[in-house]
Structure 1
Amino acid sequence: MPSTVLSFRADEEMVSKLDQLAEATERDRQYHLKRALSRYLEAELWHLQAIAEGVSDADAGHLTDLEFVKEKWVKRAENSPD
């Protein structure tokens, strides 16, 4: 797969931490940046998909009554050991 070069500015502290990580793991900056970006994108895209599914459910009328939810959490709090 062809790759594209990305560049961005980072503060010195962040670069220093990245270099420490790279040295400790015997991997280069690119390895860690690609891994971090991949994890970030996966999490953010999952979140967007979950929101879209929730909106679709709401649009289809699949809603939970607010009073039911409140009652459930009140009971849980009452039964909590704290």
Structure 2
Amino acid sequence: MSSTVLSFQADEETVQTLDQLAGATGRDRQYHLQQALSRYLESEMRQMLAISDGIADADAGKLTDIESVKARWVKRADNSPD
């Protein structure tokens, strides 16, 4: 797989934390940055797709009235062990 160089600035505290993590795990900065970026992008894409699905459902008229939503939350709270 080909790769592209990305460059960005980070504050000193972030760099120190990254270096501590790299030292503790025996992995380099690049490994941890790739892991972090991959996880972030996966999370953001999952959220974006969920929003798109919700908009499509709304456009198709697949909506839930607010009273049903409230009733579900009340039921959940009533069944909570807290």
TM-score by length of 2: 0.90
The CA RMSD measured in Å over matched residues stands at 1.3
Structure 2 residue aligned with 1:10:
10
Moved more, 70-79 or 49-58: 70-79
Quote the offset at 1:80 in angstroms: 4.0
Letter in 2 for 1:9: Q
* Residue number in structure 1 paired with 2:39: 39
Provide the rounded CA distance (Å) in 2 between the counterparts of 1:41 and 1:78. Answer: 36
Q: Report how far residue 78 of structure 1 moved.
A: 3.9
Paired-residue identity, %: 70
Larger deviation: 13-22 or 72-81? 72-81
- The change in CA–CA distance for 1:2 and 1:78 in structure 2 (over 3 A counts) is closer
Q: Tell me: CA distance 1:78–1:14, structure 2 relative to 1, closer, same or farther (3 Å).
A: same
Query: Gapped runs of 5+ residues in structure 2?
Result: none
Question: Normalized against structure 1, the TM-score is what?
Answer: 0.90
Paired residues, what number? 82
Q: How do 1:58-69 residues align onto structure 2 when only pairs under 5 Å count?
A: 58-69=58-69
CA distance in 1 between partners of 2:13 and 2:21 (Å) = 12
What is residue 71 of structure 2 aligned with on the other side? 71
Instruction: Classify 1:11/1:62 alpha carbon distance in 2 versus 1 (closer, same or farther; 3 Å).
Output: same
Give 1:77 shift: 3.0
